[in-house]
Amino acid sequence: MCRVKRLRLLRGGGTVSSFEGKDAARSKDAKRRRCKASIINVILKQVQDDINIFLKRTYRPNVLTSYRLKKCAFTLAEVLITLGIIGVVAAMTIPTVVAKYQHKVLETQFKKAYSILYQLVLQVQNDTGMPLNVKDYSYAYTGDKYKLYNALKPYIIANFCKTTSCIDTIEVDDGTSQNMKEYKTYNNKVNTSSYFMECGDFILPDGVSVYIEAWNDQNLMLSIDVNGVSKRPNRWGHDLFTFSIDNETGKLIPNGVKGARFDDTLREWGCSLTTGDKNNGITCSYYALTDPDYFKKLPK
């Protein structure tokens, strides 16, 4: 399209050559690029205008803000329904949680009290050089109802009770008396008997109540109320547990095993959900020591 022309220019006696066609092509390319850019800008502007028009038609700040505020708030009915649901769930779960906590506390107190009592008996035996046995300490052989009580007394710091009133009551730290006959059996059917807890009693500094039995001709026995006589549930097999002293070894053993006052033949009878006897619970110390889930399964 373009031709190269040689032009002769007379300027001061010289000549200058130029490619007019090449310059014209460059100018056309530049114009073409500017035209394209202009078209693109027009299109973009039109698109932007269309978007703005669309947004103005559909977006209303006041209406949208009002809608959001309305959805972020709760009506009184919604609040009451929510509180009702929470109350129902709490009523269903809290008693179970509390019961599990109480049973865990009783288990911990039982293990601690049993350890104290076991070490106490062992210490007396080590110092005397002979086992604590029924023939040396029971009223049935010695005629002294409080011989075992007096043998244990020097080894512990406690509040002691050694009167005829100890058969039915025990004096606590504040000077008041608690009735031992308020203890219930394992299944909570009847009151227990104080027959196996009448030969001296004492309360340890942490509140644990200990009852001594040295009246029969079979075994010496010790009972412990792991959280104290002044605290519930005051039931055999729950917070009250009874142990025998083995006549041969002098060690503290749970009722429900061979060699105990209530041995393995009476194990199930003495810790039963159905037994109506007043001594139901006297062998529960065996299960408390051997069954890791014992306290989780305590009857109501």
Task: Pull the structure tokens for residue 186.
Answer: 């394992």
CA 38 to chain centre: 76
Task: Pull the structure tokens for residue 141.
Answer: 């052989």
Residue ranges per domain, the chain?
Answer: 20-70, 99-297
Contact indicator for 172, 228 with CB cutoff of 8 Å: yes
Q: What is the pLDDT of residue 13?
A: 46
Q: Is the peptide bond before 233 cis (omega within 30 degrees of 0)?
A: yes
Please give the residue that has the higher pLDDT: either 264 or 97: 264
Neighbouring residues of 142: CB distance < 8 A, sequence distance ≥ 6? 136
What would the mean pLDDT of 79-86 be, rounded to a whole number?
85
Q: What is the pLDDT of residue 62?
A: 54
At residue 118, does pLDDT exceed 90? yes
Q: Name the pairing type of β-strands 169-171 and 177-179.
A: antiparallel
Cβ-based burial of 256 (10 A; exposed 0-12, middle 13-18, buried ≥19): buried
Report pLDDT digits (tens) over 59-75.
455 544 555 545 567 78
Burial 174-194 (b: 16+ CB within 10 A, else e): eeeebebeebbbbbeeeebbb
Report pLDDT digits (tens) over 178-214.
555 678 999 999 888 778 888 888 888 888 989 999 9
- Binning pLDDT at 50, 70 and 90, where does residue 260 land? very high
DSSP label at 228?
-
What's the pTM value of the predicted model, to 2 decimals? 0.67
Report pLDDT digits (tens) over 29-50.
777 777 766 777 777 777 677 6
